[in-house]
Chain A
Amino acid sequence: MIRKLLTSKKGSSSILVMLLMVVLVVFGIAALTTALSNARLGQKVADRAESYYAAESAAFERFAAIDKAITNAPPHDAISGLNAMRFDTQIAQVDGGVTITYETWSGDVGIRCVLAMTDGDIGSLHITEWIQTTRDD
């Protein structure tokens, strides 16, 4: 039976055509899968950028609030203005100045920000660190 099947030439062209079709289907599916992966990757990058800029937005808002608190604080007592703020910031006295550290988050993406200011010079407040962090770090 098997020998008869092997020696018979009937239907061999159908087999060739079917093989060709299978190859075409495999290539088509591979091309579509690659394209969909590309689209998914693009969406993931866009989502990540959205989270990053949301965290950065919160960081800039806090920077503005700190600037305002320092400006409105009594002269030579900027720290009292900072302490009056409700949000979580770490304030450290360093040689001749103050550093203010805080983090803002959006989803898994965060911004760690360090501001520095020279004692008695409220105009000297500036960013010294602006680092992206993630929950895994």
Chain B
Amino acid sequence: MIIHAIRNTLRQGSRNEKGFTLVEVIISIAALGIICAVLLRLFVLAGATNNQANDVQDAQIAVTSAVEVLAASDTVYDALDALGISHSDSITAESFVCPKDGYNLIIDLAARGDYPGTLYDISVSAQADDKDLAAISTSTYYKEQTHD
């Protein structure tokens, strides 16, 4: 029915010599502009949400990767070397900051307990503008690393 009406209008449109007044055109453009602005906000919001989700996912991958390197090494020093972080010869509780593309990777390490090896509490977070994008806390036991 609607298609039929559209086709009718198009067919008769060329014979119709009546036009719109300037005021009508301005009002209709203004009304359309307002509606389009609201709709555009919807698209902008969708784009911003998507970008934010992508940033969080990238940060999550970076944090997981750092935690895996820390967990897979024989000693905490090997892990920090593998991550390209300069460190002292003895780490009991220390915080390291690695600047990455668009965010900072912050690694907190704290040795605890009295074990034959060394048990570290590890906290890795990715921060951008003082906001946590992703964070993981875990512990790793370095059996090969004796107490400092």
Contacts and interface: CB of A to CB of B under 8 A. Distances in A.
Interface of A: 5-9, 12-13, 15-17, 19, 21, 24-25, 27-29, 31-32, 34-36, 38-39, 41-43, 45-46, 49-50, 53-54, 56-57, 60-61, 63-65, 67-68, 71, 125-126
A30 B113 CA distance: 53
Nearest to B51: A35
A41 B53 CA distance: 9
Interface in B95-117: 113-117
Most chain-A CB neighbours within 10 Å: which of B12, B52, B67, B119?
Answer: B119
Range, interface on chain B? 35 or more
- Enumerate the 7 nearest inter-chain pairs by beta-carbon distance, A residue then B residue, closest first: A28-B42, A35-B49, A31-B46, A53-B138, A12-B9, A57-B139, A39-B53
Interface in B131-148: 134, 136-141, 143
18 contacts: A7-B8, A9-B5, A9-B9, A12-B5, A13-B9, A25-B39, A25-B42, A35-B49, A35-B53, A39-B49, A42-B57, A49-B60, A49-B64, A49-B136, A50-B137, A61-B139, A64-B119, A64-B141
Given A12-B9, A60-B119, A125-B143, A35 B50 contact: yes
For the residues of B in contact with A, the DSSP-based class is helix
A36 B51 CA distance: 11
Contacts of A49: 60, 64, 136
B26 interface: no
Interface of B: 1-2, 4-6, 8-9, 12-13, 16, 32, 35-36, 39, 42-43, 45-47, 49-50, 52-54, 56-57, 60, 64, 67, 71, 113-117, 119, 134, 136-141, 143
Contacts of B71: 56
Contacts of B2: 15, 19
